[in-house]
A and B are shown apart, each in its own frame.
Chain A
């Protein structure tokens, strides 16, 4: 089954890296096929950023994302630019404190940035918290695959922090699912 996942937020949050990590988890560690693309514009740090991933059990032919069924949105501007037209049966994860709007589709509020700041002490891992929540709330890839992909992708010396962030995200994702 073809899934289209879109991440959006502001430049500097690690939005595109999130898409790369998810794609790597699916393609290298879950035996699936994945194509990762991104909006590749002149947006600098602070502007709306967007990265996306197509994941499928079959080889992916048309590589573009046309109509995502899964969203992870981490800024209000990101929502307005890349999330507001989500289809009714999509599922959207929102950073509770950074996105004011709420979509017409099913959505989960994930306090990713607040958790990263207060519980983990480093705001920079908010995207990893979000990825963890995405994985347990949607099952798009396995926990083992995303763990390996995160470890592949983060700088040396930050592995423990990122694993903690990911596990916190797993918990938040499980919790919203069971509400």
Chain B
């Protein structure tokens, strides 16, 4: 028996994590993400899990990585300033192929910016914020139900690809309340175990090594230094570094069709909106109020790895319009993958694009 509730996006995030079997949360409260930590603090001990209120965000993500290496599903939740502090260890998670989930309820930045206002200003930081080359997965819900669904899904992706996976939500979706259906159970796919006879960082064609967490009986050396398939540092051999880092990137990027999750509306349209997160709801409103086959919509639920092939599902596209709550971040990906004109429609300050604003943009650019 599933249950139906009227709850906030942040509460649904915690429910999604619990449903997916998350049993560790290490975090430091920060507006507008705090309700996630509050819910996990209440619920995890009763579910046999562990909640630790850490001293800061550097420690939060470090604790999450440590917990993940004991084989439990682990997450943290934060917002802009805390996200910035997590960057170094996010790179460590990528380098050590640690499956973990990081939620960023985005608020206005830079710095402490607008704690109580929505933004999507951390989308490039999420992709590129730690040093060096690596790749990650990022999901972008636009409703409370989707926050539940995509949080649960994030744990599967993190496990399957052994990669830090991000739920990039925002103050609007985090704090709005809507009806949400919480199923009794969600399907769970864990990491493939490390096969007998395989080295701890030896991968097959998919580039993803089997996972042998601490306590599983295999001795695994875990390091952020460039390492060989045994997990031992090999920091000077150019070929060793090239092999490792290219695999870390390729295991995600080469699977982007399998990871992709998007909706296409009116594929024959000439003017195409490309959205993720809450601006998609304004586009949907405009398309309902002014039905027009000449206007299409590509809505991304996975922004990273970027599904460039989805842009080409509109064979008659003449213009792409990209409304996002920043000064133009994901629009750069659109620009580099299509030949047609691309219109950035960045909005900052904390308010969602209004239907009237999008109608004006349509009139100006079609």
Determine whether the beta carbon of B281 is less than 8 Å from that of A28.
no
**Given contacts A62-B281, A62-B285, A63-B278, is CB(A40)–CB(B4) below 8 Å?**
no
Number of A-B contacts (CB under 8 A): 58
**Chain A residues whose CB sits within 8 angstroms of the CB of B278 once the complex forms:** 63
A34 to B179, CA, bound (A): 7
**Chain A residues whose CB sits within 8 angstroms of the CB of B281 once the complex forms:** 61-63
Q: Which of A28, A41, A63 contacts B179 (CB 8 A)?
A: A28
- Complex interface bits, B346-358 against A, C-beta within 8 A gives 1, otherwise 0: 0000011011000
- Nearest-Cβ distance from residue A142 to partner chain B, whole angstroms: 16
Interface of B is mostly: mixed
**Chain A residues whose CB sits within 8 angstroms of the CB of B5 once the complex forms:** 28
- State how many residues of chain A have any CB contact under 8 Å with chain B: 20
**Chain B residues whose CB sits within 8 angstroms of the CB of A64 once the complex forms:** 351-352, 354
Q: Chain B interface: which size bin?
A: 20 to 34
Q: Which of A34, A37, A60, A66 contacts B175 (CB 8 A)?
A: A37
Interface: A38 (CB within 8 A): yes
Q: Using a CB-CB cutoff of 8 Å, which residues 52-90 of chain A contact chain B?
A: 60-64, 66
- Nearest-Cβ distance from residue B7 to partner chain A, whole angstroms: 9
**Chain B residues whose CB sits within 8 angstroms of the CB of A62 once the complex forms:** 281-282, 284-285, 352, 354-355
Interface: B46 (CB within 8 A): no
A60 to B278, CA, bound (A): 12
**Chain B residues whose CB sits within 8 angstroms of the CB of A20 once the complex forms:** 6, 177
A37 to B116, CA, bound (A): 13
Residue of A nearest to B353 (CB): A62
**Chain B residues whose CB sits within 8 angstroms of the CB of A23 once the complex forms:** 6, 177
Determine whether the beta carbon of B178 is less than 8 Å from that of A27.
yes
Interface: B42 (CB within 8 A): no
**Chain A residues whose CB sits within 8 angstroms of the CB of B177 once the complex forms:** 20, 23-24, 34-37
Interface: B32 (CB within 8 A): yes
Interface of A is mostly: mixed
Q: Using a CB-CB cutoff of 8 Å, which residues 19-45 of chain A contact chain B?
A: 20, 23-24, 27-28, 33-38, 40-42
**Chain B residues whose CB sits within 8 angstroms of the CB of A27 once the complex forms:** 6, 178-179
- Complex interface bits, B83-123 against A, C-beta within 8 A gives 1, otherwise 0: 00000000000000000000000000000000010000000
A62 to B355, CA, bound (A): 8
**Chain A residues whose CB sits within 8 angstroms of the CB of B32 once the complex forms:** 40
Residue of B nearest to A19 (CB): B177
- Nearest-Cβ distance from residue B54 to partner chain A, whole angstroms: 24
Interface: B176 (CB within 8 A): yes
**29 A-B contact pairs sorted by A residue (CB < 8 Å):** A20-B6, A24-B177, A27-B179, A28-B4, A28-B5, A33-B179, A34-B179, A35-B177, A36-B6, A36-B176, A36-B178, A37-B172, A37-B175, A38-B175, A40-B32, A40-B175, A41-B116, A42-B116, A60-B178, A61-B284, A62-B282, A62-B284, A62-B355, A63-B176, A63-B278, A63-B281, A63-B352, A64-B351, A64-B354
A-B pairs, 3 with minimum CB distance? A62-B285, A61-B285, A36-B177
